[in-house]
Structure 1
Amino acid sequence: MKLDFIDMQSSDSFFGTVPFPPDKIEDKFYQLEFSSLQDKSRIIKEIASMIPWQVRVQDIADELKDPTLRVFARSVSAAVHSERISYRYSILAEKGHPNHYDDLEEGVFLLSSVIDSDLSYLEFRTYLDKIAIRVEELVDLNEDLASDEVKVHFLTRVLSQEEGFGGNHDQYEDPNNSYLHKVFSSKKGIPISLSVIYLLVAHRLQLPLYGVNMPLHFLLHFESSEFQTYIDSYHGGVMLDRSTCIRFLKANGFQAHERYFTHASSLTILKRMFRNLIHIYRKKEDRDMEKILSRHLLALDNKWKP
């Protein structure tokens, strides 16, 4: 089994591995510091578009040569960070709905960074890498028996049993269930966030696993030429056949329409995660978070104007 990892150095700031123009960014911060009020928004957007999503804006501020400029850059880093999230989501929206999940990791990392701008992508990525390596070890140790069905069993075993990921049945509407870095720590989430972890690990292992945007309960679908199954990440990675999924739909008042079994794109998954969170914050009457997330959702809907 061949792992599909991103080749990056251990530097948490990714300087030297992710190309970006530091001198031009420094010039832009100078412009921002001395710009008129009407120009500030435009320049913040320009800075946001220049900083790679893997790099913390705070790290960029700390690397500026002028100490006075460093202080200023730190003071506006939150605004630049928020603008960059919308900018990156607008790029993802323009790509449409491919379901290869190449952009899913970026999307969910940025969602987590909404509540933690200091979040380290290196740590985020490394945690997922380690899980994938463990699955790969099991496959390699059982190479003669490692059919696609066995690979799925190893994937669910590592995630549900060894790592302990499962549904947060007691606090289903806790917002932390939707932020992956929080789920990494608590091991508890909701169907879609847990499914995303499965997808990101499977993507590293080049396994044909897909999200299924079923009403009320997000599922996974493994589909290869030799084996097919549906997986419920919320209930310990249990495997389901299609007839069981159809019974679930009918029991909840839905017809067994083919659209409920369509493979979900990264964009579809991210929009559902955002809408879940907006609904939760609205119920909690947290207007600030509702407003922040709604703004980023506009970018995912391709309605954000840079």
Structure 2
Amino acid sequence: MTQEGDIGDQDAIGGEAWAEATLRRLAEAGDSALDILDGALALAAFDAPTERLAGYRDHIARMERDLAAAAGEADDAELRLAALNHVLFGLHGYAGDADTYDDLQNANMIRVIDRRKGLPVALGILMLHLARSQGWEMHGLDFPGHFLLRLDAPGERLIVDPFHGGVALDAPALRALLKATSGAGAELEAAHYETISDRDVLIRLQNNIKLRLIQARRVEEALNIVDSMLMLAPDRISLWREAGLMNAHIGKTRTAIDAFETYIAKETRSEPRREAEALVGELREKLN
């Protein structure tokens, strides 16, 4: 049974044209704060096109209302986090997918909402959106191996793990997590508490899909992910190099040359430029 605010049949909106326009609009904002959930839905639309985007928006709006009711006038970081966790993981049943962690659906926001489970960064984007809907300050962290969030309130700061029910992590727990993901010799540094831009959060989301597709040797599908990332972040020069390599791999020589030439125009380091110029030379020979 479909409840009020849950995903149901709605008027058809969205689609790939909407997704591309949304990503290009968000790209113009650079590294400023974005409508991060809109970006995640747009990225998802390329792999899971939907005619029910209005239904997903209704579901999100329902969670926003639930959070406002649960939080009340809370100005304490712990109370705010408790309200967030109650709504997202309690009332609406979201959870980290530990059983099928590498399932590509776990990084596609449409499928995450459908299934109520996902990767740390996908659940983190939902938490970011909900927190900001209440005017709270929350950001993604530049933490290796496992996506975390930072919730700030006057005089307080909590580090949050969205994959494990939104638990707040203290320094010993963070150190243990870092060693588990980066090796026994890794130690906490100030940089691990630094925030990243919303675009970087979305790129991290897409990297999860891209890397799994590459590992499965599904290069053409991985290239589609890179293309969507370039709509959002055309200034990220490493993506142009990846696009060149992948297009070359699948035999799209002219497209590969174009991507490499864009990369060369943006790259300031001499050695990577020379390497790319050599690749362009080899590709041009194939066209002759």
Fold shared by both chains (TM-score > 0.5) = yes
Distance 1:283 1:116, change over 3 A: same
Distance 2:192 2:77 in 1: 24
Aligned to 2:140: 211
Q: Which residue of 1 aligns with 2:36?
A: 104
**CA displacement 1:210-242 (0-9 Å, x = unmatched):** 111311100111111133211111111111124
1:292 and 2:221 matched? no
Shift of the 86–242 alpha-carbon distance from structure 1 to 2, 3 Å rule, reads farther
1:244-259 superposed matches below 5 A: 244-251=173-180, 252-253=182-183, 254-259=186-191
Say yes or no: does 1:277 pair with 2:206.
no
Percent identity of paired positions between Structure 1 and Structure 2: 23
Give the secondary structure class of the aligned counterpart of 2:102.
Answer: coil
Distance 1:240 1:56 in 2: 37
| Range 189-198 or range 119-128, more displaced | 119-128
Hey, what's the Cα distance between the residues in 2 that align with 1:135 and 1:85? 27
Asked if 1:154 is matched to 2:83, the reply is: yes
SS in 2 for 1:228: strand
Q: Which residue of 2 aligns with 1:95?
A: 29
Distance 2:44 2:115 in 1: 14
Matches within 5 A, 1:181-200: 181-200=110-129
Deviation string, structure 1 residues 9-28 (Cα, Å, up to 9, x no partner): xx846xxxxxxxxxxxxxxx
Structure 1 unpaired stretches of 5+: 1-10, 14-54, 58-80
Deviation at 1:281, TM superposition (A): 1.4
Matches within 5 A, 1:135-150: 135-140=67-72, 143=73, 147-150=76-79
Structure 2 equivalent of residue 220 of structure 1:
149
Mapped pair 1:56 → 2:14: yes
Instruction: Name the structure 2 match of 1:74.
Output: none
Structure 2 segments unaligned to the other structure (5+ residues): 1-9, 241-258, 260-288
Cα distance in 2 for partners of 1:196, 1:216 equals 16
Aligned in 2, Cα 1:239/1:298: closer, same or farther, shift over 3 Å? same
Give the 3-state SS of the residue equivalent to 1:260 in structure 2.
helix
Matches within 5 A, 1:15-164: 55-56=13-14, 81=16, 85-98=19-32, 100=33, 102-140=34-72, 143=73, 147-164=76-93
Q: Is the 8 A contact 1:230 1:242 kept in 2?
A: no
85 and 162 in structure 1: CA distance in 2 versus 1, 3 angstrom threshold: closer
**Is contact 1:166-1:234 (8 Å) kept?**
yes
Give the whole-Å Cα distance in 1 for the aligned partners of 2:51 and 2:131.
23
Could you tell me whether the CA contact under 8 Å between 1:195 and 1:220 is conserved in 2? yes
In the alignment, which residue of structure 2 is the partner of 1:33?
none
Match of 1:261 among 193, 196, 199: 193
Distance 1:194 1:56, change over 3 A: closer
Structure 2 equivalent of residue 238 of structure 1: 167
Q: TM-score, normalised by structure 2?
A: 0.70
Once the two structures are TM-superposed, the CA of residue 274 in structure 1 deviates from its matched residue by: 1.2
- 2:130 is the counterpart of 1:201: yes
Alignment partners' CA distance in 2, 1:91 and 1:287? 27
State the TM-score, normalizing by the size of structure 1.
0.66
C-alpha distance in 2, partners of 1:56/1:153? 33
Match of 1:171 among 75, 88, 100: 100
Between the two proteins, the alignment pairs up a number of residues equal to 225
Distance 1:138 1:89 in 2: 32
- Residue 87 of structure 1 deviates from its aligned partner by 4.9
For the residue of structure 1 that corresponds to 2:129, the secondary structure is helix
- Between the aligned partners of 1:201 and 1:162, the Cα distance in structure 2 is 14
